[in-house]
Amino acid sequence: MKKISIAIMLAGSMLLAGSAGAAAVDELLQTYAGQGAGAADPGAANTLWTREFRPAGADQDRSCATCHTRNLRQTGKHAKTGKPIDAMAPSVNGKRLTDVKHIEKWFGRNCKWTLGRECSPQEKANFLAFIRGS
């Protein structure tokens, strides 16, 4: 009996986490809109996901897919250390897109590493829409 009530509590907290995720994305989309981003275009992010870049100092081409693979529902792998990276898709990994600071940190690091520059507010909005729908 106790187990069932724990199960219900856990299920409840999972639902809360899910709605918090939506809140994080909505908050950021609003921020990016305030910085000049138009409507988010997931298709554009889909294209950018596999476009290859070679920033100064890189010895190989890089794309988002280098580490995260082309399939957002799949586990990725860090290009250098080989450490597994949990799937990006919220449909298989409920922790994704739930924390504004976390999202901004990784946009900062990964845009600079992959593209060799920061992503624009429009690009970030596109990525959020793309990942959210995956």
Partner 1 sequence: MKEKLAILITTLALAGVAGEVFSSDDDEHRGAAWGKTADVAAVSNEQYRAECASCHLAYPPGLLPAASWEKIMSGLSDHFGDNAELAPDVTKALTAYLVANGADRVNYRRSVKFARSAGNSAPLRITEIPYFRKEHREIPARMIKTNTQVGSLSNCSACHQRAEAGSFSEREITIPGYGRWDD
Question: Interface with partner 1 by CB under 8 A: which residues?
Answer: 7, 10-11, 57, 78, 80-83, 85, 101, 105, 108-110, 112-113
Question: How many other CB atoms sit within 10 Å of the CB of residue 60?
Answer: 8
Quote the tokens at residue 132: 């959210």
**CB-wise, 46 or 63, nearer to partner 1?**
63
Pick between residue 41 and residue 104 the one whose CB is nearest to partner 1.
Answer: 104
Instruction: Provide the strand spans (E) within the chain.
Output: 76-77, 84-85
Taking Cα atoms as reference points, which of 120, 116, 118 lies closest to residue 55? 116
What is the three-class DSSP state of 62?
strand
Nearer Cβ to partner 1 (52/118): 118
Residue (39 or 79) nearer to partner 1, CB: 79
CB of 104 to partner 1, least distance (A): 9
C-beta of 49: minimal distance to partner 1 in Å? 18
Residue 33 CA to residue 31 CA, distance in Å, equals 5
Q: How far is the CB of 115 from partner 1 (least distance, A)?
A: 11
Q: How far is CA 32 from CA 109, 124, 128, in A?
A: 18, 8, 11
